[in-house]
């Protein structure tokens, strides 16, 4: 089939708010994700929902490209189309919940080294985290998704201290990892944890993109720009990190 519309899209903070909505929140309109217990968690605004419905009606293939793990993607109520998911910041390419065999072969030579690097980074950072957050308000955890080491998760109840952000940057260089950070969360990732590489793999090897196909990408974070560049046109919310950065450049 040619002349397809293929959508590659980030999820959190692109199509719905990451933070749990309050009952009095005026934007608490359309359910988009639930928590581990199945309780409502994330919602879309009317504008997000209207645009999403338009994409659902017109796209032939919709592929999430997300920092969520494969099991967290299952808690999103927005429907993908085509069976493919790029999860865990690009570490995994799955089809109907199973890692694509060619992608598993791509990962295999790097897994042991990645596991060691992530554990070393965690051990290196734990003493500093204990000093900065003696009450346990900052959590370090090496995440595995479908038995693949995907990243070292750093989650804080408040904004990450500057000292910790600097230490994360130093650790990323020391242990050969990539750093992704926002206000309250960060991730140290192996080199194969890359949304752009996974997006190119899906488009070129799995979907066998035709010249007539149109690829539309959506994202909100600066870390999304790499995979967004695999499309013919990229879309970002006007309240996003990408848009704020563009405004600064435009001044």
Sheet holding 148-156, edge to edge: 138-145, 148-156, 185-189, 178-181
* Tens-digit pLDDT profile for residues 14-63: 999 876 555 455 555 789 999 899 888 889 999 999 999 999 999 999 99
For residue range 134-189, list pLDDT tens digits in order.
888 999 999 999 999 999 999 998 889 999 999 999 999 999 999 988 878 899 99
Q: What is the pLDDT of residue 20?
A: 56
* Separation between Cα atoms, residue 247 and residue 90, nearest integer Å: 27
Sign of CA dihedral 137, 141, 145, 149: positive
pLDDT at 1: 57
Residue 131 pLDDT more than 80?
Answer: yes
The 10s digit of each residue's pLDDT in 195-242 is: 999 999 999 999 998 889 999 999 999 889 999 999 999 999 999 999
Residues sharing a CB contact under 8 Å with residue 92, sequence separation 6 or more, in sequence order: 70, 85, 86, 99, 103, 145, 146, 148, 150, 198
Tens of pLDDT, residues 91-116: 999 999 999 999 999 999 999 999 99
């Amino acid at each position: 089939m040619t002349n397809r519309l293929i959508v590659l899209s980030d999820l959190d903070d692109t199509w719905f708010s990451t933070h749990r909505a309050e009952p009095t929140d005026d934007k608490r309109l359309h359910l988009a994700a639930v928590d581990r217990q199945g309780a409502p968690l994330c919602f879309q605004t009317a504008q997000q929902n209207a645009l999403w419905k338009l994409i659902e009606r017109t796209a032939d293939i919709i592929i999430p490209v997300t920092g969520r793990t494969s099991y967290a993607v299952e808690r999103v109520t927005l429907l993908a189309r085509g069976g493919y998911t790029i999860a865990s910041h690009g570490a995994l390419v799955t089809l109907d919940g199973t890692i694509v065999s060619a992608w598993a072969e791509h990962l295999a030579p790097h897994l042991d080294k990645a596991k060691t690097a992530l554990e070393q980074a965690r051990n290196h950072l734990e003493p500093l985290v204990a000093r900065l957050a003696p009450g346990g308000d900052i959590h370090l955890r090496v995440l595995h998704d479908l038995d693949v080491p995907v990243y070292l998760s750093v989650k804080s109840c408040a904004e990450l201290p500057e000292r910790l952000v600097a230490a994360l940057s130093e650790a990323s260089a020391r242990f050969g990892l990539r750093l992704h950070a926002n206000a309250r969360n960060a991730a140290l990732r192996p080199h194969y944890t890359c949304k752009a590489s996974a997006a190119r793999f899906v488009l070129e090897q799995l979907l066998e993109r035709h010249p007539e196909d149109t690829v539309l990408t959506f994202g909100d974070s600066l870390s999304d720009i790499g995979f967004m560049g695999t499309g013919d046109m990229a879309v970002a919310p006007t309240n996003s990190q990408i848009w704020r950065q563009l405004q600064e450049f435009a001044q």
